[in-house]
Amino acid sequence: MNSKPRIWAIIPASGTGQRMRSDRPKQYLCFGGKTILEHTLDRLLACQQIYGVILVLNKDDRFWHDLNYVSEKPLVVTEGGAERQDSVINGLEKALQLDKDSSLAMVHDAVRPLVSTQDISSLIRAFNQENQGAVLASPLSDTLKRDNNEGCIAETVDREGLWRALTPQLFDSCLLLKALKQAKAGQQQMTDDSAAMEAMGYHPKLVEGSSENIKITRPGDLGLAEKIWLNQTDQQDNK
């Protein structure tokens, strides 16, 4: 076994993005002259600690090959599953085929193209200190309300200690695969990978990340993403 396991970034990108009301999956929408997916790949592959990317695509995907995306690092494409966690399972199995039992899995949403390399490095450092896993997250600052199922407020929820889970999330590949398969066997749909690890009794480390690391899911998010990207680009140019 390698003394320092390789980190494979796994990007589940087999969704159809129906909420964007578009003629293509949302990861193939554009801002700043590139698709969302290309921006996401650029960010991950620019991180020195990441060995390569496993991109998990829908079997009927007809847009990826037209991008002609070129990477100097390994970029492996595999087929997705019915649900997100199925796609992550497929990605993990591919990673373990390539690196047997020595790899780490950094799972990242295809439509979070604005994650910073600084946040990715912080995540890796935290994992090295807490090997039960590490999750980029943001502490909640808004007042939270619970509805009464009739569109009215039932109560105000205490936000103390509450965080928004972001991606990427970093885990041992074998452990995460076991956790997700266990969840699937129990017919549990996990909204993120950390939840599967938590269900097995693990306590991943929360790593505070930038609020600019937004997930593009609705039409208005695309314009916001471009504004953030332009601001990040200006800051980089002025360094």
Per-residue pLDDT tens for 61-85? 999 999 999 999 999 999 999 999 9
What pLDDT shows up at residue 73?
A: 97
Q: What is the reported pLDDT for 126?
A: 96
Q: Which amino acid is at 199?
A: A
Residue 1 confidence (pLDDT) above 50:
no
Q: Does pLDDT of 102 surpass 80?
A: no
Q: What is the pLDDT of residue 237?
A: 77
Residue located via tokens 């690391």: 213
Domain locations in the chain as residue ranges: 7-140+163-237
Which pLDDT band holds residue 17 (cuts at 50, 70, 90)?
Answer: low
62: Cβ contacts below 8 Å, ≥ 6 apart: none
Per-residue pLDDT for 40 more than 50? yes
Is the whole model's pTM more than 0.85, yes or no?
yes
Q: CATH classification of 7-140+163-237, choosing from 3.90.550.10, 3.40.50.2300, 3.40.50.1100, 3.40.350.10?
A: 3.90.550.10
Q: Where are the beta strands (DSSP E) in 32-117?
A: 34-35, 50-57, 75-79, 104-107
Residue 3 has pLDDT above 90, yes or no: no
pLDDT value at 131 more than 90: no
Mean pLDDT value across residues 109-130: 95
Q: Which residues contact 53 (CB under 8 A, 6 or more apart)?
A: 8, 9, 10, 11, 41, 44, 45, 71, 73, 74, 75, 76
